[in-house]
Amino acid sequence: MGLSILLCKQVIVMFLLLLTGFVLYKKKIVSDDGKKQITNIVLYVVTPCLIISTYQMDYDSETAKNIVLGLIMSATGITLSIIVANIVRIKAKKESLATERFAMTFSNCGFMGIPLINSVFAEIGVLYCTTYVTMFNLFCWTYGIMLMDSNKEKRKKTLAERIKPLCTTTIFAIIAGLVMYFSGIKLPKTINTTVDYIASMNTPLAMIVSGIYIAQSDILAAFKKLRVYFLTFIKCLIIPLIYMLCIIPLPLDYTLRMSMLICMSCPTAANTMLFANRFGGDEKQGSYVFTLTTLISVATIPLVVFIAGFFIK
C-alpha cells in the first residue's frame, strides 16, 4: 500500500512535468528542433550520467547476483510482450501491424521507468532498471528493426552494420558502469559531483520531452479510436499483470522484482514513432498508442503496483 501511494504521488509529479512540456510546445516556447535537441541531451548525456552515477556504489555479492537475474528477468519480460503482441495482431490493419506489435513490446523504461524507480528505490532500483534498459536496447535494435523494416530489398547486412545500432551511449555507460562497479573503481569527487548534477536532470527533461511528443500528436483522434483503447488496455494492464503472475513465486529480492514490474508497466516507448518514421511504419497509429498509454499510465502503474503489493513481499 505504502509503495503504491508513494508511486502515485511521483506519477502525479511526472504528469505535471509532462504537462509542462505540452504547454511549452503549444505556446511555441519549444520548437520541433528544440524537441530534438532536448531528446538528444536526455539520450546522449543525462541518461548515461545517471547510469554511471548509479554504479558508483560499493560492490556487494547479492547485488551483483541480482544484476544477472535482472538481465534474465528483463529478457523474459520482453519475450512475453512479444508473444502477447503477436496474439493481439487480430483485426489489425496491415499497414499498422508492425507498429502496433512494436508498441506492445517496448516500454518507455528510460524516460519513465528510471525516474519512477529512482523515486521509490533510489540508486539500487535504478541499478536494476539498467538491466532492463540493456535488454530493451538489445531487443529494440535487433528484433525491433526486423519487425519494423519494410524495405523489400532484403540486402544481407555485414557484421558491422548489425552491431552499429547497439553502439549507443547508454550501452557504453552501462558497460563502463559495470566495469567500475565490479572493479571498485570510483570517479574523482569533482567529476562524480558533476555527473550527479547532470543525472539529476533526467526526470524533468525526460518528462518534458514526452509532453512535447504528446503535444505533437492528435490527442482527440487517439481518444476516438477503439483499437487504441484495446491496445492501451493490453499494454498497460494485461502484459504487466501476466508478468506479475510469473514473478510472484520467484524467491528473489523484493526491490528487483518490483523494479522489473514497474519497467514492464511503463507506457509505450517513444521509439515507436521514431522507428515507424525511419522504417516506413504507421507513425500516426504509433503516436496514438504512445499518447494514450502515457496518459493512462498515470493510473495504471500505481494500480499494478498496488495489486502486486498483495502478493510480492
283, 279, 299, 278: which is closest to 232 by C-alpha?
299
CA atoms of 130 and 51, how far apart (whole Å): 7
Q: What is the pLDDT of residue 155?
A: 55
CA atoms of 105 and 84, how far apart (whole Å): 8
**Helix, strand, coil percentages in the chain from 3-state DSSP, rounded to 5:** 80, 0, 20
Longest C-alpha distance within the chain, in Å?
57
Contacts of 85 (CB under 8 A, 6+ apart): 100, 101, 102, 104, 105
Please report, rounded to a whole number, the percentage of residues in the chain having pLDDT higher than 90. 58
Cβ burial, residue 214 (10 Å; 0-12/13-18/19+): buried
Q: What is the pLDDT of residue 190?
A: 96
pLDDT digits (tens, 9 = 90+) for 231-268: 999 999 999 999 999 999 999 999 999 999 999 999 99
C-alpha cell at 57: 556504489
**CATH topology for 2-308?**
Na+/H+ antiporter like fold (1.20.1530)
Which parts of the chain sit beneath pLDDT 70? 1, 150-157, 159, 161-162, 165-166
Residues 42 and 169 sit within 8 Å (Cβ to Cβ): no
Residue ranges per structural domain of the chain: 2-308
Q: What is the pLDDT of residue 152?
A: 45
pTM: 0.88
Cell 477503439, located at residue? 226
Q: What is the pLDDT of residue 154?
A: 54
Task: Fill in the amino acid letter for 140.
Answer: C
CA distances (Å), origin 307, targets 31, 211, 240: 40, 28, 11
For 107, phi then psi, to 5°, come to -100, 160
Cβ burial, residue 185 (10 Å; 0-12/13-18/19+): exposed
